[in-house]
Amino acid sequence: MKTILLGLMLSLNLCMQAETATGYKNPVIPGFHPDPSVVNVGDDFYLVNSSFNYFPGVPIYHSKDLVNWKQIGHVLDRESQLDLTGANEWGGIYAPTIRYNDGVFYMITTNVTGKGNFLVHTTDPAKGWSEPVWLKQGGIDPSLYFEDGKCYMVSNPDVGIWLCEIDPITGKQLTESRRIWDGTGGRHPEAPHIYKKDGWYYLLIAEGGTELGHSVTIARSRTIDGPYTPNPANPILCHFNKEAQSNPIQGTGHADIVQAPDGSWWLVCLAFRQQNGAHHLLGRETYLAPVRWDENAWPVVNGNGTISLDMNVPTLPLHPIKPIPARDEFTSENPSHEWVWIRNPEMNNYEHGNGRLTIKGTPVTLDSYQESPSALLRRQEHISFRAATDVMLANASKGAEAGISVYANGNSHYDLFVTRTADGKDAIELRYRLNELNHIEKIIPLDSSGKQVVLSIEGSPSRYTFSYSTDGGKKFTTISSMNTRYLSTECAGGFTGTFIALYTTAPDGKATGVFDYFDYQPL
């Protein structure tokens, strides 16, 4: 009997070892998911990202293993929490931090287009967060650290890292702000987080700007308010060097560290994947790396301070999640968590459910930098993909349009749509908006109005290819293709990545776009 039990235990142990050593692929959250912050509570991990000018704000994810993440909602899901008036792709919500203390979750962030730094709290991250409380200490990238009944805030006003004590419920600042570190000399010292290990306070920051020279540095002190001594081996994560010059992952930075229940340490950070030369389109994504953190020693990221797409390292026991269906048939009353709007939407312009998405058009177009166009968007999460939708233009007059767009920002987007012409019939049109250039690539007349048309976009590393079908998707006709680089961050600008948008525009405010489904599949 003992032999049998010993054998079973050995087999179970081997299975567990196999399960925890399978490795994983980066990014763990693909597409526009920058500035990750993570917290561990029991067996659960929660992660938040920046959202800039998109509503709702601050997507929140849940995981059991740090590798497989499921979005459970948004922290800022109502206008009273998130005013995005006038916010463009450089504005809105910057770098959130999520922390947990004594049964309460806290999220602190900055609305750079609004009133600055604020925080919200909840006891259940999936069931709604409080109204914001506004904070006195300025700068961006605020973070929280809890110890002995006190709550400390760090941020980066005046090109340095500053510390103060606050009341996390009221937001009241309890001590004067104190400058504690200026970093190692890199540009834009930001993204501060404080941790405590072996009697040391560790201060983790990002430097170099969120571009090719981005990096992660760290310092430590025996007291929380310093002085902080930098790690002689800084930066602890950086791809702006000879060792990583050929790595497809670049711009590594803005990190957060977490300890798992098994004692292992992990780091999440942002980075971007280059495509079509030195360009990236998907925005800054969320990456994961193991951390070796010996007693009284400095942390070492992935053994050599770099990360890779294929991470052949031991993991926590993996808990795969059900993938998002390739087709959204708009059956529920509200859009799923993947969908967002540009700035604060007028919700009366949208009807969702019963197998149909209806978007009422307004004179506001995708070109707008101030108002919210009638558009529902999902992140482009893969370099190679296909997206398609079945759309009909209804109640339309001349100039109305409804369709699908690859959207970087108001100055840069490729639009494939059905439009109402002067003779009262419909036509399919492909248009490129590239800053000052507005080019109509092709117009394809249809033989009638109010016809259902399938519009398709296929993405590759170098091209977006646009096609249509008038027989329900049985046969597609390619219209044209366009270089991807013109929608890249390097060309289009901004802090966000590319989105796939379903939209309607109506000069007279009457037309509607009727969408029967939306397909998104990686290739």
Any residues with CB less than 8 A from the CB of 175 and at least 6 apart, and which?
164, 165
Q: Cα–Cα–Cα angle for 386, 392, 398, nearest 5°?
A: 120
Tokens of residue 434, six digits: 């590239």
Contact (Cβ atoms closer than 8 angstroms) between residue 272 and residue 283: yes
Please give the C-alpha separations between residue 1 and each of 6, 8, 19, in angstroms, as whole numbers: 9, 11, 27
Annotate 360-396 with b (16+ C-beta within 10 A) or e (fewer): bbbebbbebeebbbbbbbbbbbebebbbbbbbbbbeb
C-alpha to C-alpha distance for 375 and 342, rounded to whole angstroms: 7
Contact (Cβ atoms closer than 8 angstroms) between residue 299 and residue 236: yes
Number of C-beta neighbours around residue 232 at 10 A: 6
Residue ranges of alpha helices (H) inside 362-498 are 489-492
Tokens of residue 404, six digits: 């699908």
Name which of 409, 408, 415 is nearest 429 in CA terms: 415
Name which of 80, 63, 71 is nearest 24 in CA terms: 63
C-alpha to C-alpha distance for 135 and 166, rounded to whole angstroms: 9
Any residues with CB less than 8 A from the CB of 246 and at least 6 apart, and which?
none
Any residues with CB less than 8 A from the CB of 410 and at least 6 apart, and which?
88, 89, 366, 367, 368, 369
Q: Cα–Cα–Cα angle for 197, 317, 264, nearest 5°?
A: 15
Number of C-beta neighbours around residue 468 at 10 A: 22
Number of C-beta neighbours around residue 350 at 10 A: 19
Please give the C-alpha separations between residue 385 and each of 378, 382, 406, 518, in angstroms, as whole numbers: 13, 6, 12, 13
Where in the sequence numbering do the catalytic residues fall?
Answer: 35, 190
Tokens of residue 510, six digits: 């009457």
C-alpha to C-alpha distance for 405 and 415, rounded to whole angstroms: 4
The single residue listed with the structure tokens 């799923």 is 336
Contact (Cβ atoms closer than 8 angstroms) between residue 40 and residue 259: yes
Tokens of residue 118, six digits: 């604020």
Name which of 325, 216, 343 is nearest 270 in CA terms: 216
